[in-house]
Chains A and B, each alone.
Chain A
Amino acid sequence: MAKRSVLGLFTEDQVDEAGDAMEALASAGYTTNEYEVLTGTPYPEGTFGEAEPKHKLFRWPLTGAACGFIVGLLLTAGSQLAFPLVTGGKPILSIPPMAIIMYEGTMLGAIVFTIIGIILESRLPRIFMGAYDKRISDGYIGVTVTTEEDRIPRAEEVLKQAGAGDITRGWESN
């Protein structure tokens, strides 16, 4: 069944009302996966009574660093063994210069994987915007509910009762 979303818009001064709307949605039987708050600025965590988001971001740089280190090792050791040219009487596998490139590889891997992790853990890219209002960028606070179409009218009612000014609907993916 296609999911539909609804957005209730609160003004910048209605922070408490937006929080009340989140509580009312929970009381009305909507799960935390079904509703969320949208803001144009980062508010302190828990401002709207939302739960602390769980993520595994810290695994990404470690994985990336390990991959980068391995690539750096293969690149340096592999290329020197493939073309074993003695330079200045030094060993073919000369550790200090290898360490430099392996270090850069490790850091590059960690950074690239962290970026990928940040984007994916942020649930991006998001193809279907669902119910959204451009006024959120101007300071309005949006409380959005994404659920089965038959549960949308009840969500609208809850948002209205909590004091939402405008209420808009939008489509989501299946």
Chain B
Amino acid sequence: MQDHVQLSQTKINDDLLAGVLGMPKWWLPTVVFLVLVIFTGLGAYGYELNKGLGVSGLNRPVFWGFYITNFVFWIGISHAGIMISAILRLTQAEWRRPVTRAAEVMTIFALMAALSNIMFHVGRPWRLFWVYPYDFSRGIFMNIRSPFVWDPSAVMTYLIGSSLFVYVALIPDIAVVRDKATGRFAPKIYGVLCLGWRGTPRQWRLQAIAGILLSALVLPVFVSVHSIVSWDFAVAIGVEGWHSTIFAPYFIIGAIHSGVSAVAMIMALAVWLWKLDKYLRPDHFDAIGRLLIVVALTWFFFFFVEWIFALYTLEGPELALREFQVFQAPNKWLFLAFLLTAFFIPVPMWMFKRVRRSPMLMFLSTILVNVGMWLERFLIIIPGLARRQPLSFDWGTYNPSIIEILIVLETFAFVALGMLLFAKFFPIIPIFDMKEGMEVREEIKIGRRVVPASIRETP
């Protein structure tokens, strides 16, 4: 990181707590708008609950539609959040400092949005508790052989683990808010939340170890969750295009592709909305841009291999499905849009340093990636079910209803609102991490040049 602004601890507190101790002008109108979108979506869900799933576009043979597409999309987004944070912490990457918190918080809200999609999707959500070992009185237990029991156990593990991870890393920053907050209740509430943190060497030492240890523990969970989500599809023998052994790594790398892009989007938004350009420098965008090139190329490799596996079999049904995905309208237009937005437009853009260092261009290119990755999930799920088969009773297609569209929009508004509310009550950039970064920074003279350097010790 050559591009650096040295700031005092007071200045860091003032800048990073500006959104917590004050309220930017745009904040309230944005929150009101998002709440309206959420209530509209919940109203639509209430209508669906009252009338039944018939008000959605789901019908024989396409019983998985927008909700499941959206579920897989949000699980994917949630992944890179913690992945990027954990890997950057483990490798002690210096540019992680302003990025980790937003990435971790995004994980939590994205996971909640993903879980809500399951609730929207099932016909009788009041029986969701049947996936847990609850019904002792009638001697009925969940069927652990079903992927629909693996899913909640993995997602809940990930949600609990990542929430606790965020909380532990937040404790020193809550203590700063406690010391800075005014009023009667705020200092007391933050005082309770930070558990009486004082900043002793012991506490700092354990905080450093916690970052490494929890990263190492959360990473295997992150890998397992999207693998298990992919097995929801892969263990279904009867659907061509789903029954593939490569699905677990393919889903994971797809999740990283969309999730790292989402982190870059949030970084750009933080620069514009909270004026954090002193903390999120062009160097940070450059670094995440380089990471995105590697991730996108790896994802494309898996995408390519998945197609080769499918075509190399020369099995009639598999070839018919691929033909349906790529050459028949409307799928062919969606497939074209998916390829362009997920890979062929953004990746060449990221090859240019000027693009990687521009928050605006990184924002636009990463939005494209997420549009593309949403379409990718749609193209995996719907054509597989909609393909005309010789022995099927129904030949149908899928047209999402306005109810489904409103509910999907609700999930996007929910994640955005969650991030905004979090940023109102807690610093979205880790204060102590930034202060440590300033503390260990030094300028050293090599020959006739003075270059910035970081002193680091391994915890």
Q: In the bound complex, do residue A125 and residue B140 qualify as a contact, i.e. CB atoms below 8 Å apart? A: no
The answer for the CA separation of A50 and B203 in the assembled complex, in Å, is: 13
- Within 58-117 of A, Cβ neighbours of B (below 8 Å) are at 58, 61, 75-76, 79-80, 82-83, 85, 87-88, 90, 94, 97-98, 100-101, 103-105, 107-108, 110-112, 114-115
> B436 near A: Cβ within 8 Å?
yes
* Interchain CB contact (< 8 A) of A125 among B141, B168, B195: B195
- Contacting residues, chain A, for B167 (C-beta < 8 A): 115
12 contacts between A and B (CB under 8 A): A36-B201, A38-B198, A42-B436, A101-B144, A104-B221, A108-B160, A108-B161, A114-B213, A115-B165, A118-B206, A122-B203, A137-B179
The answer for the CA separation of A127 and B192 in the assembled complex, in Å, is: 9
> B133 near A: Cβ within 8 Å?
yes
> B154 near A: Cβ within 8 Å?
yes
Spot the interface stretch: A23-31, A128-136, A153-161.
Answer: A128-136
Chain A contact patch, size range: 35 or more
Q: In the bound complex, do residue B213 and residue A57 qualify as a contact, i.e. CB atoms below 8 Å apart? A: yes
Q: Which residue of B lies closest to A39 (CB)?
A: B199
* Interchain CB contact (< 8 A) of B176 among A12, A40, A124: A40
* Interchain CB contact (< 8 A) of A87 among B145, B150, B171: B145
Please name the 10 residue pairs, one residue from A and one from B, whose CB atoms are nearest each other, closest first.
A126-B196, A139-B9, A79-B141, A41-B435, A125-B195, A53-B202, A42-B204, A134-B179, A137-B179, A124-B195
A residues lining the B interface (CB < 8 Å) = 12, 36-45, 48, 50, 52-53, 55, 57-58, 61, 75-76, 79-80, 82-83, 85, 87-88, 90, 94, 97-98, 100-101, 103-105, 107-108, 110-112, 114-115, 118-119, 121-129, 132, 134, 136-139
Q: In the bound complex, do residue A121 and residue B206 qualify as a contact, i.e. CB atoms below 8 Å apart? A: yes
- Contacting residues, chain B, for A44 (C-beta < 8 A): 440, 455, 457
The answer for the CA separation of A107 and B435 in the assembled complex, in Å, is: 32
Q: In the bound complex, do residue A107 and residue B203 qualify as a contact, i.e. CB atoms below 8 Å apart? A: no
> B1 near A: Cβ within 8 Å?
no
Instruction: Contacts A36-B202, A45-B201, A115-B168 known; list 20 others, CB within 8 Å.
Output: A42-B204, A42-B207, A43-B201, A43-B204, A44-B457, A45-B205, A55-B202, A58-B213, A61-B217, A79-B141, A97-B144, A97-B145, A104-B150, A108-B161, A111-B160, A111-B164, A118-B210, A121-B206, A124-B171, A136-B199
Interchain nearest-CB distance for B453 vs A (Å): 14
Q: In the bound complex, do residue B432 and residue A101 qualify as a contact, i.e. CB atoms below 8 Å apart? A: no
* Interchain CB contact (< 8 A) of A137 among B141, B156, B175, B206: B175
Q: In the bound complex, do residue A76 and residue B139 qualify as a contact, i.e. CB atoms below 8 Å apart? A: no
Q: Give the total number of A-B pairs whose CB atoms are below 8 A apart.
A: 182
Q: Which residue of B lies closest to A85 (CB)?
A: B143
The answer for the CA separation of A48 and B139 in the assembled complex, in Å, is: 62
- Contacting residues, chain B, for A53 (C-beta < 8 A): 201-202, 205-206
- Contacting residues, chain B, for A57 (C-beta < 8 A): 206, 209, 213
The answer for the CA separation of A38 and B180 in the assembled complex, in Å, is: 17
The answer for the CA separation of A65 and B8 in the assembled complex, in Å, is: 42
The answer for the CA separation of A83 and B136 in the assembled complex, in Å, is: 10
Interchain nearest-CB distance for B119 vs A (Å): 20
Interchain nearest-CB distance for A81 vs B (Å): 10
Known A104-B221, A110-B217; contact A38-B200, beta-carbon cutoff 8 A = yes
- Within 217-276 of B, Cβ neighbours of A (below 8 Å) are at 217-218, 220-221, 224, 228
- Contacting residues, chain B, for A97 (C-beta < 8 A): 144-146, 149-150
Q: In the bound complex, do residue B153 and residue A139 qualify as a contact, i.e. CB atoms below 8 Å apart? A: no
- Contacting residues, chain B, for A87 (C-beta < 8 A): 143, 145
> B197 near A: Cβ within 8 Å?
yes
> B409 near A: Cβ within 8 Å?
no
Q: Which residue of A lies closest to B438 (CB)?
A: A41
Interchain nearest-CB distance for B69 vs A (Å): 24
Known A79-B142, A107-B221; contact A37-B197, beta-carbon cutoff 8 A = no
Interchain nearest-CB distance for B267 vs A (Å): 23
- Contacting residues, chain A, for B165 (C-beta < 8 A): 111, 115
Interchain nearest-CB distance for A75 vs B (Å): 6
Q: In the bound complex, do residue A127 and residue B196 qualify as a contact, i.e. CB atoms below 8 Å apart? A: yes
Q: In the bound complex, do residue A111 and residue B457 qualify as a contact, i.e. CB atoms below 8 Å apart? A: no
Q: In the bound complex, do residue A98 and residue B10 qualify as a contact, i.e. CB atoms below 8 Å apart? A: no
Q: In the bound complex, do residue A107 and residue B224 qualify as a contact, i.e. CB atoms below 8 Å apart? A: yes
Q: In the bound complex, do residue A107 and residue B144 qualify as a contact, i.e. CB atoms below 8 Å apart? A: no
Q: Which residue of B lies closest to A50 (CB)?
A: B201
